[in-house]
Amino acid sequence: MKIDEEALVSAALKARKQAYAPYSHWTVGAALFTKDGKIYEGCNIENAAYTPTNCAERTAFFKAVSEGAREFAAIAIVGGYDTKEPESICAPCGVCRQVMMEFCDPDTFRVILGTKDGVQVSQTLKELLPYGFGPDTLNEKN
């Protein structure tokens, strides 16, 4: 299914409105697109104890996987301070890149970074996480 990158950024901007970020005030939205055309939205969810905080990207992945989705084509991400619409890109943290590595083909899965003005960056997971460690590493016969 063709990826409409601009529509995915719009979905991420919408998802960001649900962010719960009373500590950092940095709100993030993500929209995860499955190979069969479904969109799972996610936002960051913070916690008074700080470390239980979940990023927007992982919220989207965990929603999707918990509902049976396993095949993903792309994710759009937007983020910034809660006082205004994102004017700069928000790149995914290392932990979220690793979660992508678990479920996505690094050569084809696209990570789209947007702002209020739409798509700014579109790269493969491999470009964002070169030499990633994933399920295929463990499957290699030595």
Residues contributing to the site for ligand THU (CB under 6 A): 21, 24, 26, 28, 44, 46, 53, 55-57, 79, 90, 92-93, 96
Both tokens of 21, joined, read: 């970020």
By three-state DSSP, how is residue 27 classified? strand
Strand order in the sheet with 72-81: 39-43, 26-34, 72-81, 110-115, 118-124
Residue 135, H or E segment: helix 135-139
Cβ nearer to ligand THU, comparing 20 with 37: 20
By three-state DSSP, how is residue 6 classified? helix
How many other C-beta atoms are found inside a 10 Å radius of the C-beta of residue 37? 11
CB of 35 to ligand THU, least distance (A): 23
- Classify residue 109 by its DSSP letter: -
Annotated catalytic, 127?
A: no
CB of 22 to ligand THU, least distance (A): 10
Cβ nearer to ligand THU, comparing 86 with 92: 92
CB of 88 to ligand THU, least distance (A): 13
Cβ nearer to ligand THU, comparing 52 with 68: 52
Q: Which member of 57, 67, 71, 85 is catalytic?
A: 57
Active-site annotation, residues: 57
